[in-house]
Amino acid sequence: MKKMTYMVDPDIAFCERISSLLSSSSLATKTFGRAKDFLEQSDSMEPDSLLILSSNIPDMDTVEVMQELKKRGNDIPVIVVGEDDDVPQAVKFMRAGAVDFIWKPLANQKLKALIEKLGVSINK
């Protein structure tokens, strides 16, 4: 069974690109354009999941999403993806519990390395 990667990002092209990157690996993907849609189903997430979370979600603050997951007892690893190379913003997300913060345009090798660091092998 493939491990699940959840993505919350309003950028459909980005989600499609990452889904394509992960499709031949041991990760399946499920995407959401809004944080509230993701949180509605987060109690039934697959074990050993991963969350790729945009720093620019239109309906909810990214840190709020991370805090809500913690409040629910969900310790899913979170990689935050930002639009800008804003170091203070990156520090804010890391302090909130993200395993890493990376900027768009996302380098495929960087994402692969992060996912492998979390113990998932990428075959592409």
Is the predicted pLDDT of residue 41 greater than 80, yes or no? yes
**Rg, the chain, Cα only:** 13
Contact yes or no for 28/19 (Cβ under 8 A): no
Structural domain boundaries in the chain: 3-117
Is the predicted pLDDT of residue 60 greater than 70, yes or no? yes
SS3 63: helix
Spatial distance between the Cα atoms of 54 and 51, rounded to a whole number of angstroms: 10
Instruction: Report the pLDDT averaged over residues 59-68.
Output: 95
Number of Cβ within 10 Å of residue 100's Cβ equals 18
Q: What is the pLDDT of residue 117?
A: 76
Instruction: Report the pLDDT averaged over residues 11-16.
Output: 88
| Token pair recorded at residue 25 | 């690996």
Q: What is the pLDDT of residue 75?
A: 87
Q: In CATH terms, is domain 3-117 a member of 3.40.50.2300?
A: yes
- How does residue 108 score in pLDDT terms, banded at 50, 70 and 90? low
Q: What is the pLDDT of residue 92?
A: 92
